[in-house]
Amino acid sequence: MALLTDELKRWIGREAHYPAHEELGRASIRYFALALDDANPLYVDDAYARQAGYPSLIAPPTLVVETCQYAHRRPDETGYIGHEWHLPVQGCRLIRAGNDYEFFRPVLPDDRISVTWTLEDIAERPSSRGGTQLFVRSVARYRDDKGDLVAINRETIVLQPLEPNA
Amino acid sequence: MIASTRNAETLQVGSTLPVMTQSFTIADLVAYGAATWDWHRMHYDQEFARARKFPNVMVDGQCYGAVMAKHALAWAGPRAFVRRLKFRMLAMTFAGDSLQAEAEVAEVRDEPAHAVVVLASRLKNGAKLTAEGTIELRMPK
């Protein structure tokens, strides 16, 4: 049975926009560095960061593409609050395949970052377990309050049938 | 005094970075989830994880990118900038596991305003390859 239905194909090209609610903030940056056990002074020390040529302390590079700080909703039954497409696919589990990040400048605590997700493609391909699985390619664009791109996150997830669909 | 930033001209293709270990207790998973505003139960609710046939709560796969970037920048120095980070997830990591970050210089090239250093990066859980990727660093000349 084909996983990639006509209904699902109509999702390709959809967008979801999340406006910034506040500045990223020093607390978010220090919290992330502590969570990763990252002692790099660039993330907590303004004077140090200025000596290295930055206007202030900076965020660890992947913070902006990993955080769901852009979201503003109560957790769903899984606890998650970040972006999800909620595709009409039954009986599949979601597996992260990989990410490809591009960064255009260091992110600063005063940045207000809005995010636009686009569903670029859904493809059905053979699975090594037999049957097929869906590859869902999305891109998130992160912009500052001037509209300039600060980062792009290209993400691929796999929707794998719990039982091979032979 | 700030730490020095590596001079791309002195780097040899094939030279390796010191190995870095990143450990994940449940407290670490909770801290990462909170720091990224991700409250998914898979990262702290053992009953939830075991009901889905996983042995324990799971490290967020996106965290692999953060570990690779931390490893690269600790080596490259404060003026290095991550321009691109691309990685594939090859295995899951659970609470109680430790990952070893390894990398080597894959390419060094000169551009008009700066040098570019490309690292080939891997995360291993013991002998098991957990993630692999490439990190493109922009370095001052």
Percent of chain B with pLDDT over 90: 96
pLDDT digits (tens, 9 = 90+) for A1-46: 689 999 999 999 999 999 999 999 999 999 999 999 999 999 999 9
Domain boundaries, chain A: 6-161
pLDDT digits (tens, 9 = 90+) for B39-57: 999 999 999 999 988 999 9
Domain count, chain B: 1
Q: Does B109 touch chain A (CB under 8 A)?
A: no
Assign domain A6-161 one CATH number from 1.20.870.10, 3.10.129.10, 2.40.128.20, 3.40.109.10: 3.10.129.10
Q: Does B83 touch chain A (CB under 8 A)?
A: yes
Q: Does A51 touch chain B (CB under 8 A)?
A: yes
Q: Is the dihedral of CA A55, A58, A61, A66 positive or negative?
A: negative
pLDDT score at A166: 64
CATH number at residue B109: 3.10.129.10
Domain range for B18? 9-24+60-139
Q: Using N-to-C axis directions, what is the helix angle for B26-35 and A26-35, rounded to 10°?
A: 160
Q: Which residue of B has its CA nearest to A40?
A: B74
Q: Is the ipTM of this complex over 0.85?
A: yes
Residue A158 predicted with pLDDT over 90: yes
A62 vs A79: CA distance, rounded Å? 22
pLDDT score at A2: 85
Candidate from A31, A42, A62 with C-beta closest to B66 = A62
A53 vs B80: CA distance, rounded Å? 11
pLDDT digits (tens, 9 = 90+) for B113-131: 999 999 999 999 999 999 9
